[in-house]
């Protein structure tokens, strides 16, 4: 039996502007198990990123519960949530979120600095992470803008996994990439999933979603369907 790693119970997110109330999420229930590779899909403004931010403890729900390893974390302090994020979660974003004044090495090692890991050990872990995602050690002294978009996203993924988090959260990770680079990135996620990482990916692209194990469809802040992927329509099965 698979181990439950994240459970969302009756979660709603409300935004208030004066007397106007807008629902970002409405009574969401979701269970994610260790080793899952899931996609969250839906039209623009449907609540995909809001849900991912709540799963990733970047935002708090207006109501409901968020369980990480069976512990309800909604009442945790910001400091406690930051500690959980640093230890258990890795984040990959559409726009890479790399710091251009830092080298690739310095970007990747950032999650390790907060843990007080010595510099020599950080360099070893950075090299391991970069090679694990198919990167090249020659990139380490370069600045992000000296790399292609696909290479920058690999650096971002290396930063996400350098601390060996159980869970990787990816928000439109191929949204700014050409199709060949997107194919490379989704293959990287598939390989990381084989290493045991649980991956939760927001995407608008069916070819990406069809490379996962299950697809949550969200519309108007509500999960409206849970679909099995059509493996034959995965981008890894198509010819570029």
Residues 9-32: pLDDT tens digits?
999 999 988 889 999 999 999 999
The pLDDT-based confidence of 239 (bands split at 50, 70, 90) is: low
C-alpha dist (Å) from residue 140 to 30, 48, 116, 118, 181: 39, 33, 21, 18, 20
Q: φ and ψ at 158, to 5 degrees?
A: -60, -40
Class of domain 37-57+78-237: alpha beta
C-alpha dist (Å) from residue 212 to 95, 118, 219: 22, 36, 20
Give residue for tokens 């992470």. 129
- The whole-angstrom separation of Cα 191 and Cα 205 is 19
- pLDDT for the residue numbered 114: 81
Q: Is 34:41 a contact under the CB 8 Å cutoff? A: no
């Amino acid at each position: 039996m698979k181990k439950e790693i994240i459970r969302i119970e009756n979660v709603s997110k409300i935004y208030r502007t004066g007397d106007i109330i807008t629902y970002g999420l409405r009574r969401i229930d979701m269970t994610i198990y260790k080793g899952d590779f899931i996609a969250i899909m839906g039209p623009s403004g449907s609540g995909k990123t809001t849900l991912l931010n709540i799963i990733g403890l970047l935002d708090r729900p207006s109501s409901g519960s968020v369980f990480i390893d069976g512990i309800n974390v909604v009442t945790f302090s910001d400091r406690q949530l930051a500690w959980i994020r640093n230890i258990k979660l890795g984040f990959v974003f559409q726009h890479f979120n790399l710091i251009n004044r830092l080298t690739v090495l310095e970007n990747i090692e950032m999650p390790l600095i907060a843990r007080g890991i010595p510099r020599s050990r950080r360099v070893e872990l950075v090299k391991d992470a970069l090679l694990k995602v198919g990167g090249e050690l020659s990139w380490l002294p370069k600045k992000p803008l000296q790399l292609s978009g696909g290479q920058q996203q690999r650096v971002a993924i290396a930063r996400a996994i350098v601390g060996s988090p159980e869970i990787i959260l990816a928000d439109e990770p191929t949204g700014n990439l050409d199709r060949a680079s997107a194919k490379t990135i989704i293959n990287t996620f598939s390989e990381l999933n084989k290493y045991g990482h649980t991956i939760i990916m927001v995407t608008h692209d069916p070819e990406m979603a069809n490379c996962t194990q299950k697809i949550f469809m969200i519309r108007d802040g509500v999960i409206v369907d849970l679909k099995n992927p059509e493996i034959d329509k995965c981008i890894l099965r198509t010819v570029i």
